[in-house]
Structure formats: structure tokens, C-alpha cells
Structure 1
Amino acid sequence: MSPRSAAADLGPVQRRAVTELLRVSPLADDLAERFERAGFSLALVGGSVRDALLGRLGNDLDFTTDARPQDVLKIVRSWADAVWEVGIAFGTVGCRKRAGERDFQLEITTYRSEAYDRDSRKPEVAYGDSLLDDLVRRDFSVNAMAVALPRKEFVDPHGGLADLARRVLRTPGTPEASFSDDPLRMLRAARFAAQLDFTVADEVQAAMTAMADRIDIVSAERVRDELNKLVLSDRPRRGITLLVETGLAERVLPEVPALRLERDEHHRHKDVYEHSLTVLEQAMALEDGGPDLVLRLAALLHDIGKPRTRRFEKDGRVSFHHHEVVGAKMARQRMLKLKYPNEITRDVVRLIELHLRFHGYGTGEWTDSAVRRYVRDAGPLLDRLHRLTRSDCTTRNKRKAQALSRAYDGLEERIARLKEQEELDSIRPDLNGNDIMRILDIGPGPRVGQAYRHLLEVRLEQGPLDQEAAVEELQKWWAEHGADTGNAGGGRFRRRPGDRETL
């Protein structure tokens, strides 16, 4: 189908959508004319056209061209406000351009094809000269539409517009050929299903199932980025379910399908897999300020330690003792394999470690000391821990759910009261290191650290002490644990054989 014949098939609704797309992209014609003067073609393409037709176009615009990357650089360097070359090895030049009140992020990619061989983790890039050849190599038909500039001709050779109306994901060619070109497209299918609320065509899902092992050659970083987009979507359950059903989750996040614990008539217990998906959705409902990757990952993975810790007790109950500890270790291992940043890994793991702590609160018999430790251990993750803990209640027993909610309300109220009284967010001993050395007449060394930790424990147990009480507590500890092995004068102490110094 030629670009002109495709344009002739365009209905009035779609014409208005394309017109709107170009109206909110005033820089498109200017850029296209620059490419034309240089002897090249330019088209708006892919997700930009799809999102315009869906009425959700943002400031990120995708273009395709027959110009090679070095030619693209020559054209945009004198036009854009900023240019970057991070994707140039794959034929993509990025730039930023301000138009009116909006900053646009543009990616301009040379017509290309990508293919993996059986042993490579990196795609082989080959450049092309035809827009239609470029579109047939796109991942899905809804992303294989273009608007040729500056003529403003709508190009849809693979029925993307019809698929968009039906909300279905198909590939321009056979799904086997598409996924062979780039196996990551199988994860993208799940991500688009979650982001756009689309159905994946039967033949596409069949190919995902048959070719799931091909995802193994894709780099961990690309897999991670695709999983993040899925988890941060509006309907992550839909995408995760598709990954599990096709066997892709077994390759990229095997801890999730492992949650589907079998049940029998004698050992009934909650479906951990469905429970985890529900916790994820409930955590999303509690988000404040937009999607929270750390909270969502913690919600999805919080019970992954259960399969390894499941025990059938003599009374017929099922137990999962210490599954939060085991699950935290498993989450760390998986996130390291997926090359997650250290800070995200640390926070997700910590939330998993702490997600059961509240259940020791019972009916509210925690001491102030226990509340202080809860706040201290959560640290900057306290608000996320609140959300995760509340989300972890999926019981259908309304009375039980209400009781848990009231108990957690009570805990949060106690935390708020103690914060007003004691500055819980920055709990530290009533004496600092310099005070300790001055009072005990010792120099720097491990004894100072030991004394500091003792005073921190006292602070957590008893709350704030005045100066006199803090000094008395320090001297009492020194008499019992310090003076017998140390020398108060000169800051030196004798270490006995076998002693271990710990700071």
C-alpha cells in the first residue's frame, strides 16, 4: 500500500487526530524542511503517531529518516538546543528543542533493521532506504504507522489504525520473524498490554510462548528497563499475567511464577501469586505523587520467600517462617542479576525485610521502645513501609481487615505522637562521640563506638535523657564493660586475646 493510498483511507476522526498531532508539534515542519533541503526525507513515526491517535501525545517525539546518523547530526546541531549521541551506534540521534512554552525531546532514527544471532546480546544494525521497509521491521502494527513530512501523508501499510481501534497487538510480519529480529519485543508486548490496555493477538501470544527462551540473549539492562515500564504502567497485573502464561517470566523473573503454590483439599492456604498481584494493585492505590517503582517492586516481590519456606504443620496449617528474610535475599540476588541501581535494590530489599514487622504489633501492646525501633529501622522508607503494610491485607474477612486497619491506624498515631516529642526521624544518643571521650577521658578508638551504640540502645528503650542521666548511664556502662579492659588515661586500653574490635 502506498503512502498516498493509505492517506485516502483515512477517516475524519483520524484526520483530526493527525492534524492535532501536527498542531502540537509546531517544530515538525521546520525540521522536515531542513531535512528536505539537505536531500533527505523525514517522517513522524511509531509511538508518536499511535499516541496522537489515542489522544495521549506527550513531548517525546519519534522521527525516522533515510539520512545516516552523521548527516542527521549535521542537520540538527545548528537547530536544536541540545544534541546527544548516546544511541548513535543504533542509528539514533537525540536532541531537545523548545517551541513556544514546551520543551520537546526528539529521537531521529535512520531507517533500519535489527536482528540478533543466536550467540549475541547486541542487535546487528543495518540501514535501509525505504520508509515502508522500515515500518515492516517495527515491533507491532500500531507502532508501524507514520506521517510523512512535510507533505503530511498518513502511512499505514499494516493495518495499525484498525488494530488501534480494536485495541489489539499484532506484528507487521509474522510474530516469529519479529521476535527473532529482536526478542525484547516479547516483553514489549506484555508492557504495551499493560500500558495501553490492549489484547495480544493469539498468534503473537503463541509465538511468545514458543520462543520464550530467545529472551536469554537480550542484555539484563534492556530486560530490566522493559520490566520497569511494565511495573510502572496503569495495569501491571495484565502484563505480568501475560509473562507468566507465556513462560517469559520463568526466564526473566522466575520468583513470580514460583508463587503459584499448589493447593490440595487438606492443606488450604491463600494463593500467594494472586495475593501478590492484589498487593501490588492496592499499593498503587495508595501512591502519592505518581508511580513509585520501589514500592511496586517491593509489593510484587514481598512474598517470594514463601515457596522456599513453606511447611505443613501437624495441625494442618501451612507456615512460612522467616519468609521475609529469605525473600529479601532472593530479591537482592534477582535485582543484582537485572543490574538494578544499588539504591533501588537496597530500598526494595529493606521493605521486604520489614514487611511483616507490624504483625508483631498485635492489638497494640508495643512499647514505646518497639515503636522507636520500627521507625529507626524503616528510616526514610517509613512512608513506603506504611503503604506496603496496609496493602498486604487482602483478606475477604471484613472484620479481620477492619481490625488490622484500626491496629495500623493506632501504630501510626503513636509514631506521630512520639515524633512530636522526640524527633524520631533522627534518633541518636544523648551524648556524641566527643562527649564520650571527654567524660571517660579516652581517645578515639573502638571503645567510643561501643559506648555510642550502648547509649543508642538506651535512647531507644527509654527515650530522651537529660545530660545528668545520660552521663550517669555512660559511667555505669564504663564501670561494667569498659574500665576493666581499658585505661582511662591517655585513651589506651589493653585488648585481651580473642577480643574483636568493632566500630
Structure 2
Amino acid sequence: MELSNTFPVATDLAGRFAAAGHRLYLVGGSVRDAFLGRLSGDLDFTTDARPPQVLAVLKGWADAIWDVGIAFGTVGASKDGQTVEITTFRSDAYDRVSRNPEVTFGDTVEGDLVRRDFTVNAMAYDLLERRLIDPTGGRAALAAGVLDTPATPAESFGDDPLRMLRAARFAAQLGFTVAPRVSEAMKAMAGELGRITAERVQVELSKLLLGAHPRAGVELAVSTGLADVVLPELPAMRLEIDEHHQHKDVYSHSLTVLEQAIDLETDGPDLTLRLAALLHDIGKPGTRRFESGGGVSFHHHEVVGAKLVRKRLRALKYAKEIVADVAQLVYLHLRFHGYGGGEWTDSAVRRYATDAEHLLTRLHKLVRADCTTRNKRKANALQRTYDDLERRIERLAAEEDLARVRPDLDGNEIMRLLDLPPGPQVGQAWKFLKELRLDRGPLEHDEAVSELFAWAEREGIRTRG
């Protein structure tokens, strides 16, 4: 591997550290990704220089410097549009209660590398001497596509249990498998994840789902028991038979839906869509009913599922927007099945589109991905039917601007016509007119006014009309 000429900024920086009497090494994920041919513009370094010395070297060279991580020995900087993070050699000790280390600086690059999470991340490259430093066999593990720990897995995961979930994340991002001893340790120590904050768990879970191979990461998390701790609704689906009897269980079906939803992405990885695809059926375990004749039903599982999604994603500290959007997609994912052979009225089509609002494109993808039948004739028929629904939505959108459906009279006009002050009655009138618009499409102004007066009379509101 030859990196010295690939990133002139890095080589220049290494020269500045050497002139100041220090060593600087490209390290960790940057070295791993360079071997994989996927190195980004963000570079990670390690050095024997202490943080004040790092700041001194960077001063006058970097375009910007930030020291928010200086308590942990990390200084960040940018130069010519490239971001670098420089961390002093570490030899931390962990208290085994929290995941917080007692930050201790080390003296050798080898000592720094052996305390890292996985051997593929425990390599460093000396840019000036042009040599690889690989004390734990990371390059061989990288070539084999195997995740193993520099120390024993029990020691590594005992120091930082989040590393177990990170193993599942790397399986999803890189398509790697875990060494047998790592898998066994994950199964034995999965419960230790309970001492990691929800925020840190959520970051790793999101990275896992956004990886190139999320199914591999999910399956590893489920098979080792990690998912029982961080997302217990997911393994709970393994015992639930899909009502169409086309899949071994709802869990397997959900993984297939996830993969099919990914195939429909057009603008890069979509966390909201992937969460919805993975979790769209989590309401089934709580709604399963065995019917006479041997059938199985899951009535209203979309309603139960939406509630479970809100509860779990809130517990994982996801942003409010993501919680709301994923829950709404789960709630709406079954509605299409009432479309039948296209019997919906234009009113029903309007409601489908307006209830989805900004999620309509994602809902289209989720519904299409949810078709996992192996019967090609049935699958093609479902896709053709959905094609028809999309065409109807597009036609109505072009005619009526469905993206901004509003009542034919606004709040100010409602107050003027009914001689009402601002308050709940105006909101009720507005809601009535919006429902009317959804049912009948755009109304002429006089017709909307007439309907408003008729509603007010039914509600006992005295008007001047």
C-alpha cells in the first residue's frame, strides 16, 4: 500500500510533526478503508505528541482547529477542505461499570493499536517511512473478511460493550463475518449492552441500517442476543407465521422487505424507509389470532405496530421527526390492500395521498417492497394494481394540487362569513371543509360557502347568511 502520495496534506502534516520531534501515523479506519479502496477525505491519525504539542504543530498550518475532544486526547483540524483528527497514543483503563475510560496517554503506537476494538482497525501507517504497523494481524483479517479482537473478546467487550453492536455494524457496512470466538463472546455478554446509553446505541444501530449489507448486521444482532437488549420487538417476530404462509416467519419476511426497499432507493440510503421496512410488522406478535380452519390473522397489527414503533424509537432517542415518520409509514402500510382491483373512489385516493403527505414517495416504496410472494403472477398483479393507484394519485395531484390540500375557504373567511371570533369553532369549521374537499374535490366558492352555512346551522351556530 502506498499512501504517501495519495494525500499530500497528510504527508505534509507528518513532516511538520517530525520537524517538531514527534511521530504521526495514519490509523484505524483510515488504514482499513485505504486497503478496501474506499478512503474518504476524513483522516484519522495517532501521535506520541500530547494535546498541547499537537495544538502547537497545527497552529499556523490548519485553516481551522477544534478541541472539543481534547480531554480524550483528540484535536480536530481542517486544511484545504480535508478534515483530520489527531489523537495522542492511548492506554486507557475501563471501570467495567460504565463504558467511560480513565484516559491515560501511552508511549508507543503498538500499545495504542492493541487497545482498539477489532484487528482490522488496529493498523497504522507511517507516512514518512512508508511502512505498515500491524501488531495484531489486521491485514490478514481484512483479506479474510473476518472481525476479531486484538485482545480476547471477553476483555475487549468487557472494556466497552458497545463494541459488540459495532461488530454487527461492521458486518453491515463491510459484509464481514465475525470470528467464532467473537460470536460466542457476544452471545455470553449481550446483556452488558444494557449499561450503554441509548444515544450511543442509536448511533450504532443507525449506522448498521445505513450500511451496504444491513441484513447481515441485523441477523448477527438477533442471533447473538444483542437485539433482545436494544430492539427486542425484532427477535420477537421470529415465532410469528406470516398470514400468507409464504415465509418461515414474520422476521424473515421483514428482512426481505428491508432488502427490497433498499433496491427501490434512488437518492442514497434512507434511514426512515429502512426503519419502516424492518419494523412494519412488529405489531403482529401482539395481534396474532388462530382462526377456525387453521388460518392465522393479525387484525389491526398496523395500529399496534405504529404504537410500538413510537415507544421503541423514543426509547432509543431518535429525533422526533424520524419517530413520527416511521410510525406513520407503519400505520399506513396496509391501507393499499383495500384498493382491491381499483374500486377506490377519487375521495379514497385523495385521502391515501393526503394522509401520507410528505411520506407518499416512501410509502410507495414500502408498499411495493412489502410484496414478497413467490407467486410471480400474484406479485405482478399487485405491482400492476399499485401502478394504477400511483397513476390516479398523479392525475388528481395534477388536477387538484394534492400536496397542498386545504379547505376551499380559509380561516379568515370562515370567521367573516360566520361572524366568529378566533377559537375552536373556527377550527371545527375548517376541518369540516377540508373533509368535504377530500370527499368531493375542489368546490366552487359559492358552493363552499353554502356548505359552510349548512354545517353551521346543523351545529347550532347562528350566522348572518
User: Within the alignment, does 1:201 sit opposite 2:201 as a pair?
Assistant: no
User: Within the alignment, does 1:72 sit opposite 2:50 as a pair?
Assistant: no
Q: 2:443 aligns with which of 465, 480, 501?
A: 465
Shift of 1:73: 2.4
CA contact (8 A) 1:122 1:219 kept: no
User: Within the alignment, does 1:59 sit opposite 2:41 as a pair?
Assistant: yes
SS at match of 1:399: helix
Shift of 1:69: 2.3
Shift of 1:263: 5.7
CA distance in structure 2 between the aligned counterparts of 1:377 and 1:88, rounded to whole angstroms: 48
Structure 1 pair 121/482, CA: closer, same or farther in 2 (3 Å)?
A: farther
Q: Which residue of 2 aligns with 1:369?
A: 347
CA distance in structure 2 between the aligned counterparts of 1:386 and 1:313, rounded to whole angstroms: 31
- TM-score scaled by length of structure 1: 0.89
Map residues 482-497 of structure 1 onto 2, 5 A cutoff.
482-483=460-461, 486=462
Q: Which residue of 2 aligns with 1:496?
A: none
For 2:182, the aligned partner's letter is: V
Shift of 1:437: 1.5
Q: Which residue of 1 aligns with 2:249?
A: 271
Map residues 114-125 of structure 1 onto 2, 5 A cutoff.
114-125=92-103
Q: Which residue of 1 aligns with 2:27?
A: 45
Q: 2:160 aligns with which of 182, 189, 203?
A: 182
SS at match of 2:343: coil
Q: 1:405 aligns with which of 359, 380, 383?
A: 383
CA distance in structure 1 between the aligned counterparts of 2:369 and 2:171, rounded to whole angstroms: 24
Q: Which residue of 2 aligns with 1:350?
A: 328
Shift of 1:488: 5.8
Shift of 1:78: 2.5
CA distance in structure 1 between the aligned counterparts of 2:78 and 2:370, rounded to whole angstroms: 42
CA contact (8 A) 1:283 1:295 kept: yes
Q: Which residue of 1 aligns with 2:361?
A: 383
CA contact (8 A) 2:417 2:464 kept: no
CA contact (8 A) 2:96 2:159 kept: no
CA contact (8 A) 1:82 1:96 kept: yes
Map residues 333-348 of structure 1 onto 2, 5 A cutoff.
333-348=311-326
Map residues 20-419 of structure 1 onto 2, 5 A cutoff.
21-98=3-80, 103-261=81-239, 271-419=249-397
For 1:354, the aligned partner's letter is: L
CA distance in structure 1 between the aligned counterparts of 2:388 and 2:102, rounded to whole angstroms: 59
CA distance in structure 2 between the aligned counterparts of 1:420 and 1:318, rounded to whole angstroms: 41
SS at match of 1:447: helix
For 2:325, the aligned partner's letter is: D
SS at match of 1:138: coil
CA distance in structure 2 between the aligned counterparts of 1:155 and 1:252, rounded to whole angstroms: 36
Q: Which residue of 2 aligns with 1:500?
A: none
SS at match of 1:147: strand
- How large is the Cα RMSD of the aligned pairs? 1.8
CA contact (8 A) 1:115 1:182 kept: no
Map residues 415-426 of structure 1 onto 2, 5 A cutoff.
415-426=393-404
User: Within the alignment, does 1:430 sit opposite 2:423 as a pair?
Assistant: no
CA distance in structure 2 between the aligned counterparts of 1:488 and 1:61, rounded to whole angstroms: 72
387-396 or 193-202: bigger deviation: 193-202
Percent identity of paired positions between Structure 1 and Structure 2: 64
CA distance in structure 2 between the aligned counterparts of 1:282 and 1:454, rounded to whole angstroms: 39
SS at match of 1:43: strand
Shift of 1:441: 2.2
User: Which string of whole-angstrom CA distances, capped at 9 and with x for unpartnered residues, describes residues 16-54 of structure 1?
Assistant: xx31x3322111121112222333221001111111111
Shift of 1:270: 5.0
CA contact (8 A) 1:114 1:182 kept: no
CA contact (8 A) 2:99 2:159 kept: no
CA contact (8 A) 1:144 1:158 kept: yes
Shift of 1:90: 2.4
Shift of 1:318: 0.7
CA contact (8 A) 1:118 1:217 kept: no
Shift of 1:121: 4.3
Q: 2:425 aligns with which of 444, 447, 451?
A: 447
User: Which string of whole-angstrom CA distances, capped at 9 and with x for unpartnered residues, describes residues 222-279 of structure 1?
Assistant: 1111111110111111111111111111111111111101569xx9975100000000
CA contact (8 A) 2:4 2:127 kept: no
Structure 1 pair 320/251, CA: closer, same or farther in 2 (3 Å)?
A: same
Structure 1 pair 86/321, CA: closer, same or farther in 2 (3 Å)?
A: farther
Structure 2: give runs of 5+ residues left out of the alignment.
none
For 1:236, the aligned partner's letter is: P
CA distance in structure 2 between the aligned counterparts of 1:316 and 1:434, rounded to whole angstroms: 58
CA contact (8 A) 2:99 2:160 kept: no
CA distance in structure 2 between the aligned counterparts of 1:28 and 1:268, rounded to whole angstroms: 54
Structure 1 pair 339/262, CA: closer, same or farther in 2 (3 Å)?
A: closer
Shift of 1:201: 0.8
CA distance in structure 2 between the aligned counterparts of 1:90 and 1:363, rounded to whole angstroms: 62
For 1:185, the aligned partner's letter is: R
Q: Report how many aligned residue pairs link the two structures.
A: 463
Q: Which runs of 4+ in 1 moved over 3 A?
A: 113-116, 267-270, 486-489
